[in-house]
Amino acid sequence: MARLQLKNVNKRWGSFVGVENFDLDIADQEFLVLLGPSGCGKSTTMRMIAGLEDVTDGQILLGDKVVNDLEPKDRDISMVFQSYGLYPNLSVYENIRFPLRVRKVPKDQHHDMVMKAIAMVELEDFMDRRPAELSGGQRQRVALGRAIVRKPTVFLMDEPLSNLDAKLRVSTRAQIKNLQSKLKTTTVYVTHDQIEAMTLADRVVVMNKGKIQQVGTPTDIYDNPANTFVASFIGSPAMNLVEGRLEDGVFSADGIRVEGLPASASGNVTLGFRAEDAEIVEEEAQISAPMYSIELLGEASMITWRLAGSLVSIKTNKEYRAEIGEVVKARIPAAICHLFDTKTGERIAHG
């Protein structure tokens, strides 16, 4: 049983607020991803769970036990660090065995446990090497092996993939996903990469400036962002956001006019829609403005306009050609639009 609960957790350094009122219940076996830009408090939250950082206020419960005052070693967690944190003087085998040694696991079990972990992270051929003789991906696998060698109740992973190159990141990501589903251990994973978050998570927590912005499944967060921050952080390209005015269900700004929106709200709003939900058309449509740029992505082309001061992009087929400055039109169905309050950034309604 490894339910992990954070109850109104706060972290402050003097007057600086690192994490504010973090309240979350993480279910047993769940893969939870903390996502946010750097400095948003996601790593601090994880370090508080690990016990490497004191909690200023609030409670952290592991199972039914409050662990606020426990040393990291007494929390039964294991952690993977961004810079691996391997012991440079020990071989791969000894690195993975280290937790068993210091936790006084009976010696006769060591070999079996270490070999099992080594097999899981596929490092059989590198057992006797030192970390300095390994590539980045192999080092990260050693760190993973060290984390799984004893069965902890919670895994913590602090940006484990950010030091790897793009190709390796994809394969290691798949490996982590696979390992977690095999081991069925509650996992908290910190990243600033929204693709990692989308692919790995059962649930994503989006954070900004020390506060939770939204908690939900990846689809939930992608389809129904709670505010403009989440909308602009998730997705590649991020959601298009245009500031304008809404009156009687009609949104208008420079070069864009969308009808059929809910009439319940009015005033200054921000309209959001995703690049893949709109399409380029010939006849008069919602967007009609001179094109700002066209980029070939390979599988599609990206058309960009500059509307009411912000750049708006949509995807179209890769054969599409137009000159920069030429007026290009696009259809944006009201049903796929999101409305946010311009002032607070909070979501108002769905189109």
Partner 1 sequence: MANLANRKPPSLVFVSTAFVLFWLVVAAFPFLWTMWGSFKVEGDFFSRADWMNAITGPVTQRQNGSAFTGAGYEGAWVQQEFWRAVINTSIVVFFTVVISLTLGTLGGYALARSGFKYTFWLLMAALVFRAMPHVTLVSGYLLPFFELNIWGYLPTTIIVLVAINQPFTLWMLHSFFLSIPKDLDEAAMVDGCTRFQAFRLAIIPVMWPGVVTTGLFSFLLAYNDFTVTSMLLTQENATMIPKINSFLGSTQEEGKVMYAVAAVVSAIVPLFVLILFFQRQIVSGLTAGAVKG
CB environment 197-219: b (16+ within 10 A), e (fewer): bbebbebbbbbbebbbbbbbebe
Residue with smaller CB distance to partner 1, 157 or 303: 157
> Which residues here bind partner 1, judged by CB under 8 A?
50-52, 71-73, 77-79, 81-90, 98-99, 102-103, 132, 143, 146, 156, 163
CB environment 8-22: b (16+ within 10 A), e (fewer): ebbbeeeeebbbbeb
Write down the least CB distance from residue 193 to partner 1, Å. 19
Q: Which residue has the tokens 């949104």?
A: 251
Residue with smaller CB distance to partner 1, 15 or 236: 15
Residue with smaller CB distance to partner 1, 83 or 293: 83
Residue with smaller CB distance to partner 1, 147 or 328: 147
Say how far residue 88 (Cα) sits from the centre of its chain: 30
Write down the least CB distance from residue 27 to partner 1, Å. 22
DSSP letters for 150-212: S--SEEEEESTTTTS-HHHHHHHHHHHHHHHHHHT-EEEEEES-HHHHHHH-SEEEEEETTEE
Name 17's bridge partners.
Answer: 12
Write down the least CB distance from residue 154 to partner 1, Å. 11
Write down the least CB distance from residue 179 to partner 1, Å. 18
Write down the least CB distance from residue 73 to partner 1, Å. 5
Residue with smaller CB distance to partner 1, 163 or 266: 163
**DSSP label at residue 311:** E
Contact 38, 192 (CB under 8 A): yes
Write down the least CB distance from residue 350 to partner 1, Å. 43
Tokens of 63: 């199972």
| Residue 271 to residue 245: CA distance in whole angstroms | 9
| Residue 197 to residue 201: CA distance in whole angstroms | 6
Residue with smaller CB distance to partner 1, 73 or 182: 73
Tokens of 62: 């592991």
